[in-house]
């Protein structure tokens, strides 16, 4: 859209509350503030105009922030052809330039998470638990003396390995180079998307091709690992038939079988593998690292968590059923997610058709709307002492209301936005809840954990555009649990 079109569209919005920069120079500044402090406008708007729609202009886009229960419900109920998650990912991740044009016209790879992963979770749990235990024993070997491990790197490595067990299976899920490629690819995507996103449309192809070189390079590296595996599985299929004995139940098999014929090349399959991993491992690694930081920062929770976990594990071991009973642990992790996550910009939706909210405001085609999970999670209307870490907050609510479902980690709603809300709420949350509880239960049973510095100060989060991320450089200390034989 030209700048003139943009100004005409903006004039239609003059009745919607405006927050942040205004006027031509204001919007120019606003664009730079996107990188520097744009998220503060979102917070400011939320605090001043709670329950209303407000807009924040930048040079190339108009972002609308939805606040309060009723407007969030409007978004939840809207159809995909009005408000589109994929449209906003396409724009936010600049997928035409960073992944594959049209990848989000048919994101069939996500259906693996919706259909296969979640449905088979119970049956697959024992192998996942084994992978968690082996990953910890190799990456955090229990020692008699305190040993320091880089928290973010270790958290990422464990999550990549366990998730890749479900995506490509062994031995590739243990391959350090392949796991590193998944990490590098995600990092390259985020950085490239940010720069291309700030570039005017007519320059995007040029800018993308300049920056793009390390995405194809990483893709080629990944294809070198995936190609022989595809070949091997195709040969087995030719020899033993479609359902050959020992056929792995993973994303790779799923893609080889379910991808449209035009997408059966190694390249197309590898892109979908990497794209699914991008959605999965980064938020899951952040959640694990943050929960470990919280365990080390607030050690007073450890005895009560152990008192909950130990008898359950003694009776049944760590199983899908037994982790369901660990509701204090569930509460602890959920509180960590609430306090550290959500993002100032969450649940993004691209407006594909003019959309009128229940308060009468209309947003026009081409705009973007967001909610602000971080502000919601830090709002005293929803959470008393919202900036405090209260590990058993949700466990107490569950007990007080005798409601085993409403306050669990996987339950979504307008006051808990970690996994979004509505038909696009994260389908991986059932897996991630099972994984995080298994990991934390294993850590509590096997190790003592503490901060590297004995000052009780939690390593500060690092903000990247709209969302806080765990401290990347801090380490955590582990040792074999004191009374463990
Ligand atoms: C703590 C970890 C995770 C967090 C915080 C998280 C968060 C989210 C959020 C906020 C959304 C968008 C929801 C919306 O806009 O309404 C989403 C979507 C999605 N997530 Fe997750 N996620 C996590 C882990 C995972 C994992 C492990 C997987 C895969 C195994 C996964 C797969 C997906 C997919 C496929 C979508 C797109 C849903 C759709 O197509 O409708 N996520 N996630």
Of 39-43, 144-148, 233-237, 382-386, minimum mean pLDDT range: 39-43
Atom of ligand 1 nearest to the CA of 348: 15
For the cut 70, the answer to whether the pLDDT of residue 375 exceeds it is: yes
Provide the pLDDT for residue 3: 55
How many Å lie between the centroid of ligand 1 and the Cα of residue 172?
Answer: 24
Residue nearest to atom 37 of ligand 1 (CA): 426
Atom of ligand 1 nearest to the CA of 424: 41
| Banded model confidence at residue 24, pLDDT cuts 50, 70, 90 | low
> Mean per-residue pLDDT for 105-117?
93
Please state the pTM of the whole predicted model: 0.94
* C-alpha distances out from residue 92 to 189, 191, 466, Å: 11, 11, 12
Residue nearest to atom 32 of ligand 1 (CA): 428
Provide the pLDDT for residue 213: 74
The finding on whether 162 has its CB within 6 A of some atom of ligand 1 is no
The finding on whether 347 has its CB within 6 A of some atom of ligand 1 is yes
Each residue's pLDDT tens digit, 253-294: 999 999 999 999 999 999 999 999 999 999 999 999 999 999
Atom of ligand 1 nearest to the CA of 109: 35
Of 133-147, 291-305, 465-479, minimum mean pLDDT range: 465-479
The finding on whether 428 has its CB within 6 A of some atom of ligand 1 is yes
Provide the pLDDT for residue 178: 98
The finding on whether 432 has its CB within 6 A of some atom of ligand 1 is yes
Q: Identify whether the C-beta of residue 273 lies closer than 8 Å to the C-beta of residue 168.
A: yes
| Banded model confidence at residue 332, pLDDT cuts 50, 70, 90 | very high
The finding on whether 110 has its CB within 6 A of some atom of ligand 1 is yes
The finding on whether 279 has its CB within 6 A of some atom of ligand 1 is yes
For the cut 90, the answer to whether the pLDDT of residue 236 exceeds it is: yes
The finding on whether 431 has its CB within 6 A of some atom of ligand 1 is yes
Tokens 């044009």 -> residue: 101
For the cut 80, the answer to whether the pLDDT of residue 8 exceeds it is: no
Ligand 1 pocket mutation, candidates 161, 341, 426, criterion most atoms within 8 A of CB: 426
Averaged pLDDT score across all residues of the chain: 92
Each residue's pLDDT tens digit, 444-473: 999 999 999 888 899 999 987 788 899 999
How many Å lie between the centroid of ligand 1 and the Cα of residue 284?
Answer: 9
Calculate Rg over the CA atoms of the chain.
23
Atom of ligand 1 nearest to the CA of 436: 1
How many Å lie between the centroid of ligand 1 and the Cα of residue 454?
Answer: 35
> Mean per-residue pLDDT for 364-385?
95
Residue nearest to atom 4 of ligand 1 (CA): 283
Q: Which value does ipTM take for this structure? A: 0.98
How many Å lie between the centroid of ligand 1 and the Cα of residue 279?
Answer: 6
The finding on whether 373 has its CB within 6 A of some atom of ligand 1 is no
> Mean per-residue pLDDT for 141-165?
97
Provide the pLDDT for residue 210: 84
Ligand 1 pocket mutation, candidates 160, 279, 377, criterion most atoms within 8 A of CB: 279
The finding on whether 370 has its CB within 6 A of some atom of ligand 1 is no
For the cut 90, the answer to whether the pLDDT of residue 297 exceeds it is: yes
Strand-pair partners of 451: 476
Between CA 144 and CA 485 the distance in angstroms is 11
Verify cis geometry, omega within 30 degrees of 0, for the bond prior to 108: no
Between CA 352 and CA 349 the distance in angstroms is 9
Residue nearest to atom 22 of ligand 1 (CA): 426
The proportion of the chain whose per-residue pLDDT surpasses 70, expressed as a percent, equals 93
> Mean per-residue pLDDT for 412-423?
94
Is there a binding annotation on residue 173? no
For the cut 70, the answer to whether the pLDDT of residue 390 exceeds it is: yes
The finding on whether 103 has its CB within 6 A of some atom of ligand 1 is no
Provide the pLDDT for residue 299: 97
Residue 351 phi/psi, 5° resolution? Answer: -80, 110
Provide the pLDDT for residue 174: 97
Ligand 1 pocket mutation, candidates 132, 330, 428, criterion most atoms within 8 A of CB: 428
Residue nearest to atom 12 of ligand 1 (CA): 420
Provide the pLDDT for residue 214: 80
The finding on whether 121 has its CB within 6 A of some atom of ligand 1 is no
The finding on whether 111 has its CB within 6 A of some atom of ligand 1 is no
The finding on whether 280 has its CB within 6 A of some atom of ligand 1 is yes
How many Å lie between the centroid of ligand 1 and the Cα of residue 324?
Answer: 21
Of 143-152, 194-203, 292-301, minimum mean pLDDT range: 194-203
């Amino acid at each position: 859209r030209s700048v003139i079109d943009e100004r005409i569209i903006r004039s239609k919005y003059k009745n919607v509350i405006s927050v942040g920069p205004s006027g031509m120079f204001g919007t120019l500044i606003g664009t730079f503030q996107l990188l520097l402090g744009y998220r503060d406008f979102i917070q400011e708007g939320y605090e001043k105009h709670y329950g209303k729609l407000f807009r924040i202009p930048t040079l190339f886009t108009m972002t609308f922030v939805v606040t309060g229960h009723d407007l969030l419900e409007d978004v939840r109920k809207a159809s995909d052809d009005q408000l589109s998650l994929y449209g906003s990912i396409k724009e936010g991740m600049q997928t035409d330039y960073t992944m594959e044009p049209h990848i989000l016209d048919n994101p069939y790879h996500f259906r693996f998470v919706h259909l296969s992963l979640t449905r088979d979770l119970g049956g697959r749990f024992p192998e996942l638990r084994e992978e968690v235990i082996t990953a910890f024993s190799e990456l955090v070997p229990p020692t008699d003396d305190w040993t320091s491990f880089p928290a973010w790197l270790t958290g990422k490595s464990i999550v990549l390995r366990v998730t890749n067990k479900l995506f490509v299976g062994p031995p590739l899920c243990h391959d350090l180079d392949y796991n590193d490629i998944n990490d590098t690819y995600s990092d390259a995507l985020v950085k490239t998307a940010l720069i291309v996103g700030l570039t005017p449309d007519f320059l995007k192809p040029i800018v993308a091709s300049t920056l793009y070189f390390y995405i194809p390079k990483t893709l080629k590296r990944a294809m070198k690992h995936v190609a022989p595996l595809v070949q091997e599985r195709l040969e087995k299929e030719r020899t033993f038939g479609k359902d050959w004995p020992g056929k792995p139940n993973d994303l790779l098999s799923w893609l080889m079988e379910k991808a449209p014929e035009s997408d059966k090349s190694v390249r197309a399959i590898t892109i979908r593998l990497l794209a699914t991993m991008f959605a999965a491992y980064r938020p899951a690694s952040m959640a694990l690292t943050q929960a470990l930081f919280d365990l080390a920062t607030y050690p007073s929770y450890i005895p009560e968590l152990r008192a909950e976990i130990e008898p359950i594990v003694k009776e049944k071991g760590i199983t899908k059923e037994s982790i369901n009973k660990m509701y204090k642990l569930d509460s602890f992790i959920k509180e960590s997610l609430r306090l550290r996550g959500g993002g100032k910009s969450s649940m993004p939706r691209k407006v594909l058709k003019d959309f009128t909210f229940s308060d009468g405001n209309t947003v026009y085609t081409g705009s973007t709307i967001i909610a602000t999970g971080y502000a919601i999670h830090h709002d005293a209307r929803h959470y008393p002492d919202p900036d405090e870490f209260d590990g058993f907050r949700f466990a107490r609510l569950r007990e007080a209301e005798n409601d085993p479902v409403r306050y669990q980690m996987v339950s979504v709603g307008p006051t808990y936005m970690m996994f979004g809300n509505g038909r696009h709420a994260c389908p991986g949350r059932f897996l991630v809840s099972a994984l995080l509880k298994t990991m934390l239960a294993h850590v509590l049973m096997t190790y003592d954990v503490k901060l590297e510095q004995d000052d009780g100060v939690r390593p500060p989060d690092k903000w990247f555009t709209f969302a806080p991320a765990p401290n990347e450089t801090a380490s955590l200390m582990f040792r074999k649990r004191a009374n463990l034989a």
